[in-house]
Chain A
């Protein structure tokens, strides 16, 4: 008994002492078979992402009613697609819509489905702020944040995979897993939130694409400043699912300074935005 315990103690002590050494991510464990993709695999992944996103979007619309304002929704699509053009996912057709809710938030379902609450729309003061929020959501989709978090992949139609499913009895399990993944995605959007790093990345990439689309680079921090002043039920979910606004503001400010974006001229689209606000159903 004594020998193993002494040995284990020594091993633990050595391990803890080694803690000061550089971090050791587990990437070396990845085998070549895991990074081996075919074109069919990539095509399957994209189709799975869109199919999955459609289910998640349906769940969102089950909770939040789509606003019956075709002209305003068309406007959202115009602005949203303008910023999405500067992303890296030309294969995705983005769809934008307003949903009825006093809460201030926006939701991005995989596959290109983006929803903005009427509460958030009411807080915006010009088109550049709308573009900044939509660009943030587009970035979540472009970076496949939910898809990666839930490991959504295309089906495997290889004969070996069929045999594996058969022998392993995985068919029903896979169906259950898909439903669970949709539930999990809705939970991420409404309750748990994505990883904080994903939100910072969406801020960063959204800022770039909105700026490239010709909008005011300072629209996002302006919108967030206004948001910071609202501390009630309207923002409770947003605070729960996103990093603290002060931290986001610091990161955005650093990016604006470091990249020299503050000097860039940008459109506000104020008059068109106000026209659209006037067309919202009363």
Chain B
């Protein structure tokens, strides 16, 4: 990201100088919900977790998986639409859309000795974002000169993958523990082209490219406590630790003065850091038909050095609420609510070069059909975000941002 900032700094002589753009996971901790039951319940799953999605939410829960072997997979379609209002003034909005279809979870659990082992693959964050817009005939920052044409092409692919083994075991009838060790891999590519024609005939173009890959681990340590038969409390601690990272940025441009910058590369091996995350969940198994669950997810504030600058993130506490109800022995409905607040500071009226701050809330629902050994689930999630962004560097201008995120998924589980 700071490579992008460096590039933005170079663009100070330009008519437009873009600020850094976030990757998919930069500013939020809940992006794509994982698991079939869990996704339908808004991600409130830390105290449930007794099937393969527990490998992700709370590995201690898989100690209570009730089948010898169970696999589950989720195929999800995600679409987001973000509008940066009045980005260029005069109701000229920027809009960026993303859509992707990918298997975002697979998990399998199996008893082993006195415990249960599992393996899972999860994609908690992905974005394939495009912006292709042309604006014309609006005032520029130069006195008496208008922008005849402004073209922007933006494309960003950013996906985070996690996969790894888990183990869980009963401590006694009330307690169990579990651990997942995920291998973390993130792949980011971003390309941005801008072409500006001014009313006096001068032109400006910018081409930038950013590629980043990072590797690391995410240990997840979980505890499950069942103080009564119907009540369960789950707790997980996790932190992603990056072991290697390579980021390369390239910029080429020609300013309105005719000065051109040949393709220039910036490379850094600086590693991102992630906060310690604490998930606390409560589940109430009211009957064999009704389940209520709630999670609180707290991510610590943290900061680290990156690319010669300082990255600062604020503490974030999100919540997730979920309900599951079986209409019949073979049909279940689920509903959920979640928040996904930004870990960046709000952008005040005097702020300069602040990062995007958009808070999301979301609603989820799903329906599952069960047979003896399998389940088939269709679910929907809809998130609404609002906040501010500063698209352009070195100015106090800020844009209102509205964003929506739709997820539709088909998931299956099969025990054998």
> Which residues of A line the B interface, CB within 8 A?
1, 4, 7-8, 11-12, 15, 18-19, 21, 23-38, 41, 44, 150-151, 153-156, 158, 160-161, 163-165, 167-170, 173-174, 177-178, 181
8 of the cross-chain contacts (CB-CB < 8 Å) are A11-B235, A24-B227, A27-B229, A30-B66, A150-B68, A158-B371, A161-B371, A161-B374
- Nearest CB of B to A108, in Å: 20
- Nearest CB of B to A13, in Å: 12
B225 partner residues in chain A, CB cutoff 8 A = 11, 15
Main secondary structure of the interface of A (DSSP, over half): helix
Q: Are B174 and A36 in contact (CB under 8 A)?
A: no
Query: Could you tell me the distance between the alpha carbons of A29 and B374 in the complex, rounded to whole angstroms?
Result: 17
Q: Are B64 and A29 in contact (CB under 8 A)?
A: yes
* Contact count band on B: 35 or more
> Which residues of B line the A interface, CB within 8 A?
50, 64, 66-69, 71-73, 75, 106, 108, 172-175, 223, 225-230, 232-233, 235, 237, 276, 278, 280, 285, 288-289, 291, 298, 300, 326, 328-330, 332, 369-376, 410, 412-414, 416
B227 partner residues in chain A, CB cutoff 8 A = 15, 18, 21, 24
- Nearest CB of B to A135, in Å: 29
B373 partner residues in chain A, CB cutoff 8 A = 153, 155-156, 161
- Nearest CB of B to A29, in Å: 5
- Nearest CB of B to A231, in Å: 28
Most buried by B among A1, A7, A33, A35: A33
Query: Could you tell me the distance between the alpha carbons of A163 and B414 in the complex, rounded to whole angstroms?
Result: 10
Q: Are B71 and A36 in contact (CB under 8 A)?
A: no
Q: Are A30 and B416 in contact (CB under 8 A)?
A: no
Number of A-B contacts (CB under 8 A): 144
Residue of B nearest to A15 (CB): B225
Q: Are B412 and A164 in contact (CB under 8 A)?
A: yes
Residue of B nearest to A18 (CB): B227
Residue of B nearest to A178 (CB): B416
A160 partner residues in chain B, CB cutoff 8 A = 369, 371, 374-376
Q: Are A28 and B414 in contact (CB under 8 A)?
A: no
Going nearest first, the 5 A-B pairs with the smallest beta carbon separation are A36-B329, A164-B374, A151-B68, A156-B373, A164-B412
- Nearest CB of B to A154, in Å: 7
Residue of A nearest to B291 (CB): A31
B376 partner residues in chain A, CB cutoff 8 A = 160, 163-164
A24 partner residues in chain B, CB cutoff 8 A = 173-174, 226-229
Residue of A nearest to B69 (CB): A177
A4 partner residues in chain B, CB cutoff 8 A = 237, 276, 278, 298, 300
Residue of A nearest to B170 (CB): A26
Query: Could you tell me the distance between the alpha carbons of A225 and B388 in the complex, rounded to whole angstroms?
Result: 83
Indicate which residue in B173, B223, B226, B288 contacts A30 across the interface (CB closer than 8 Å).
Answer: B288
Residue of A nearest to B175 (CB): A15
- Nearest CB of A to B20, in Å: 28
B276 partner residues in chain A, CB cutoff 8 A = 1, 4
Query: Could you tell me the distance between the alpha carbons of A199 and B79 in the complex, rounded to whole angstroms?
Result: 57
- Nearest CB of B to A155, in Å: 8
Q: Are B416 and A167 in contact (CB under 8 A)?
A: no
